[in-house]
A and B are shown apart, each in its own frame.
Chain A
Amino acid sequence: MMKRAKKAMGGAANRAAGGSSALFEQYCDPATDEIGPEGRKFLRTLHLMPINLCVLAVLLSLMLAVHAGVERFCSDINTDPSDRKVLLLAWKMRAKRMGFFSREEFQSGLTALKATTTAQIQRALPGLEEQVECNPDSFRDFCTFAFKYCLTEPSQKLIDIDTAVTMLAIVMPREPLMPRFCDFLKEQTEYKVINFDQWTSFLRFAQEVKPDLSNYRDEDAWPILLDNFVEWGRRNADRPIDFT
């Protein structure tokens, strides 16, 4: 597969491909040809777990597994595996499965970053952050990716509240409405899962509605979840925000 990949790409890409694929091989699991948190055995058990525990399991395993590829990779780029930058990388690579990077994903991501070494990757990370901060289209794309990244089962369309809250904190840490929304999500009981429409609508909501909710109009077609949020937010306007 490596040879084919080399022949397919041209010139500088070839050099980069060569560089990135070498890098890939430093971390990948030869059995699966993927960078992942652990070997095949873990993979099987992952699928047996209830969905909402998967994320925690993944994150935990990332932190616990000593020789796991992803963990080593993260430490080599001086980034904590639960750091936002890792998610940004995953986004750049268009990774399909949470906690895993396939060869193509890894290589295309590094090509996009114009990096072949861990040092170069590390240097490219702030640029990634900036891109998402400053370019609204990129940010939207990133958020969309984040949602889909959480869908671990093939026909899954919804993510549970806990995952949503975790993801929101990673994806938009500086958004003033985010902590309150997360508080609300945890407190309310009407919805146990979030769908894609609600997720993207919150993104739009954060962009359009002021932090004091003063310009929210109820004749707009916000999802009921957000209508509930506004009602809750207005009722609890003077509550101190829980940052834990």
Chain B
Amino acid sequence: MGDRRPIELEAGWGKMQMGVAKLKRILEGEDEPQFDADLYMQLYTIIYNMCTQKPPHDYSEQLYNRYRDVFCVYINESVIPALKDHREDRLLGELHRRWNNHQVMTRWLSRFFNYLDRYYISRHSLDSLSNVGLICFRDQVYSDVKRRARDALLTLIDKEREGEKIDNMLVKNVLDIYIRVGMETMDKYENDFEKDLLVATAAYYKRKAAVWVAEDSCPDYMLKAEACLRQEEERVGNYLHISTKPKLLEQVENEVLRVYQQQLLEKENSGVSALLRDDKKEDLGRMYRLFSRISGGLDPVAAAFRKHVEADGMTLVRDADAAAAAKKDAGKKKPMAGTGDDAEQSFVRQVVALHDKYRLYVEDCFSNASLFHKALKEAFEAFCNKQIAGATMAQLMADYCNTLLKKGGAEKLGDEAIGVMLDKVIKLLAYLNDKDLFAEFYRKRLSRRLLQDKIVEHHEMQVLAQLKAQCGAQFTGKMEGMVNDLQLARDNQQAFEEWCQGQANSGSVVDITVSVLTTGYWPSYKTLDLTLPQEMIDALSQFKGYYDDKTKNRKLQWIYSLGHVTIKFTPSDSADDNRTYDLMCSSTFHAAVLLQFNEAATLKVSDIQERLTLPVEDLSRVLHSLSGTKNKILLRLGDAKGPPTINDTYKINTDFKSTMRRIKIQLPVITDDKKKVVEDVSKERTHAVDAAIVRTMKSRKRLGLTQIISEVVQQLSKMFQADVRMIKKQVESLIDREYLKRDEDNPNMFLYLA
């Protein structure tokens, strides 16, 4: 218009007021057309002009204040009265509406007055136009209504918890006000709403939990607990601020889980032990999930798990013990070591099954948590070191492995299943305290398997590899040596046979197969000074000739009890009776005895004994196996009953008949003297403890007794659990032998004497 006269304040303001009035009408929902671009520009320009006029017509300050006043007036006039009498839903709804209005208002007005934002406000570091609006709302509307709104919100939440459907959007929107009026911080939200929400939540669940714990079983309670937690999480997602989530869940966890944990776990018929007993895996999994939320919440569960597994294990032990005792009472002969049927053997199978079962629990229900692995380990350690009918677990395991490893020992299982079973049994070794005892029994069984050629090579190798990995190379050193010996023996035998062919008298000597065993690796065997028949002596010296040729300075000690001989037996002397049988004798003794009868058809036992220089009890066993069993090769003269005695006389059974050409003659196997094994292991342990003490002291030079003990126990833990008293005794013995001495200045310390 070209009018360069400054706009007066009141004049300009009047025009603005018209715009404001229009805005108010729009907000109140009256039928009012929207602002168009023209009007907007006009209003903007008025402000612009009034702010850019030269003083005293620069009305920035007044406009700024009047801007604020517009809000205040409007709030007082319209907003507060509108909110005054409402409660609950209506309040919230109205509040939401008024808030939206306010935002619209702020938006428009700040656009009109925008020029203030550019220079005046920033120059004077004042609140921005939008903040001014917000502050007015906060100080007038919010502070007045916040408590009522909060109560309304909490009531709604309560209703929702009880199952009613509420307007989530509304709640979210109202909470948005709380957040926004805090401006940069969450203070308003937290102090004016969240705090009370947490308290109300705690109170709510306290009430509920008290009822549930009295009425519900543990699984049902847990289902409800899980549902609650899920619900509260959803609640956060629906309308609460994300920062509330951990605090809210904490309240629920506290009231529902922590407070009643012990009561729940110990509930008769539905607590943790009942769940374990009834294999309620799903419930146990839920229990794990729930209680892993509370710190230390899983400890009682793990403890109950351990107790349960231990009790199950102890039941197995007791049952097996009772079964073995009952059998003994009933007078049945104890089956030979190695048959898979007796109670002790099935005990090992049951322990393996138990382990499988509970390991699955740890994996499935308890999410493979190390706390539960530890509980399982402790439970097994507790009962795996008990004895069954006087036999240690170490022995039982070795016997069971023997059954599995022997050719034909466990045919019904199948090759792969045997491998799997072996793997599981060896894993149980970790729970045994007396690992060295197991090693010794295993070694003895292995030697018998090897010498009777009853091995399945890939299984044996599998076990040795597993033992080596689990217990160290020292554990399997001797066993591997034994296996090696036999492999070498096979090669050696071939070389021997080739050597024999090059010898002069090769045709006349009896065929002989020799296995040379390295003494240190194999168990010790009783050696008897047997006087052999000449034919056998010739064969032995031939081998000796070969062996001396091949090696230097080696002494051969023959173990006759381990050999077996095949003898051609022709019962009748007459030419037209050409019955012959091949007697497969399980020891050299048989051969020695039988060949005596080549010289005389009838012999007195005393004569035989003199010629062979065999102890009477061994001779008596041999004679019994030849005459007292199904295949009577020899006959006893007279009517004597019972085992052979020194005064008896025997003759060849010329009427011997059998449908089979090959006949097995067995000597009954003497079961291992387990007392001796235990003694041997005990002696070994004393040496091992000595060595460990010396090793420790050599490197540390000066140590107190408790430190020595802990070092030694740790060093030997892979083989056995060293007894504190035994270590102390060995320390004293080492003092006697002048390896160590007591420190004169501090008699509780020991010094290494180089």
Give the interface residue-count category, chain B. Answer: 10 to 19
In the complex, per-residue mask of A40-60: 1 if CB is within 8 Å of any chain B CB, else 0: 000000000000000000000
B53 close to A (CB within 8 Å): no
Residues of chain B within 8 A of A219, CB atoms compared: 705-706
Most A CB within 10 A of own CB, among B705, B706, B725, B732 = B732
Instruction: Assess the A197–B729 pair: CB atoms within 8 A.
Output: no
Instruction: Assess the B729–A221 pair: CB atoms within 8 A.
Output: no
Complex: A158 Cα to B410 Cα, angstroms: 58
Most B CB within 10 A of own CB, among A195, A201, A221, A224 = A221
Residues of chain B within 8 A of A224, CB atoms compared: 725, 728-729, 732
Instruction: Assess the A204–B732 pair: CB atoms within 8 A.
Output: no
Residues of chain B within 8 A of A157, CB atoms compared: 736
Q: Which of B719-754 contact A (CB under 8 A)?
A: 725, 728-729, 731-732, 735-736, 742, 747-750
Quick one: closest A residue to B749, CB to CB? A221
CB distance from A168 to the nearest CB of B (A): 19
CB distance from B723 to the nearest CB of A (A): 12
A223 close to B (CB within 8 Å): yes
Partner among B704, B725, B736, B747 whose Cβ is within 8 Å of the Cβ of A201: B747
Give the interface residue-count category, chain A. Answer: 10 to 19
Residues of chain A within 8 A of B706, CB atoms compared: 219
Instruction: Assess the A220–B728 pair: CB atoms within 8 A.
Output: no
Q: Which of A20-44 contact B (CB under 8 A)?
A: none
Complex: A223 Cα to B748 Cα, angstroms: 10
Residues of chain B within 8 A of A220, CB atoms compared: 705, 748
Instruction: Assess the A221–B736 pair: CB atoms within 8 A.
Output: no
Instruction: Assess the B748–A197 pair: CB atoms within 8 A.
Output: no
Residues of chain A within 8 A of B749, CB atoms compared: 221
Query: What is the number of contacts between chain A and chain B, taking CB atoms within 8 Å?
Result: 30
Residues of chain A within 8 A of B747, CB atoms compared: 201, 204, 221
Q: Which of A194-244 contact B (CB under 8 A)?
A: 195, 197, 201, 204, 219-221, 223-224, 227
Instruction: Assess the B736–A223 pair: CB atoms within 8 A.
Output: no
Residues of chain A within 8 A of B704, CB atoms compared: 221
Given contacts A197-B732, A197-B735, A197-B742, contact A221 B750 (CB under 8 A): yes
Residues of chain B within 8 A of A223, CB atoms compared: 732
In the complex, per-residue mask of B382-408: 1 if CB is within 8 Å of any chain A CB, else 0: 000000000000000000000000000
Complex: A224 Cα to B747 Cα, angstroms: 14
Complex: A201 Cα to B747 Cα, angstroms: 9
CB distance from B370 to the nearest CB of A (A): 31
CB distance from A204 to the nearest CB of B (A): 6
Q: Which of B688-734 contact A (CB under 8 A)?
A: 704-706, 725, 728-729, 731-732
Quick one: closest B residue to A220, CB to CB? B748
Complex: A124 Cα to B735 Cα, angstroms: 39
Instruction: Assess the A195–B748 pair: CB atoms within 8 A.
Output: no
CB distance from B426 to the nearest CB of A (A): 37
Complex: A200 Cα to B93 Cα, angstroms: 95
Quick one: closest A residue to B746, CB to CB? A221
Residues of chain B within 8 A of A221, CB atoms compared: 704-705, 728, 731, 742, 747-750
Given contacts A224-B725, A224-B728, A224-B729, contact A195 B736 (CB under 8 A): yes
Complex: A201 Cα to B732 Cα, angstroms: 12
Residues of chain A within 8 A of B728, CB atoms compared: 221, 224, 227
Quick one: closest B residue to A198, CB to CB? B732
CB distance from B706 to the nearest CB of A (A): 6
Complex: A81 Cα to B704 Cα, angstroms: 44
Residues of chain A within 8 A of B735, CB atoms compared: 195, 197
List 7 tightest A-B contacts by C-beta distance, closest first: A221-B705, A221-B748, A197-B735, A220-B748, A195-B736, A224-B728, A224-B729
Q: Which residues does B use to contact A, with CB under 8 Å?
A: 704-706, 725, 728-729, 731-732, 735-736, 742, 747-750
28 sampled A-B residue pairs with Cβ under 8 A: A157-B736, A195-B732, A195-B735, A195-B736, A197-B732, A197-B735, A197-B736, A201-B742, A201-B747, A204-B747, A219-B705, A219-B706, A220-B705, A220-B748, A221-B704, A221-B705, A221-B728, A221-B731, A221-B747, A221-B748, A221-B749, A221-B750, A223-B732, A224-B725, A224-B728, A224-B729, A224-B732, A227-B728
